[in-house]
Amino acid sequence: MADISITQQHNLSRDAARAAAQKVADKLAGEYGLSCRWDGDVLRFERSGVEGSLALENSQAALRIKLGFLMSAFAATIEHKVAETMRKTFV
């Protein structure tokens, strides 16, 4: 198993941060077939072999992803793509 942890700083309002998180989730859902749901200020997502969360705080978004055995082979690629998406989205 592989774990990915990315923290992205931002200066967004709560609503703008939530919209940015939803944009990241929509992109992940489309690329990796994830189902997503909000639990307060935490966006949870999952599919077979992948589970994670995107927690919104006042000035940062913290993404945690756990990859199962098969998906762990793609951990570096997934981490790079997700980090880039977060960097571009949380501006």
Domains identified in the chain and CATH numbers: 2-89 (3.30.310.80)
Structure confidence by residue, pLDDT tens digits, 52-90: 999 999 899 999 999 999 999 999 999 999 999 999 999
At residue 43, the 3 state secondary structure works out as: strand
85 CB-near residues (< 8 Å, 6+ apart) = 24, 27, 28
Structure confidence by residue, pLDDT tens digits, 14-43: 999 999 999 888 888 888 899 999 999 999
pTM for the structure as a whole: 0.88
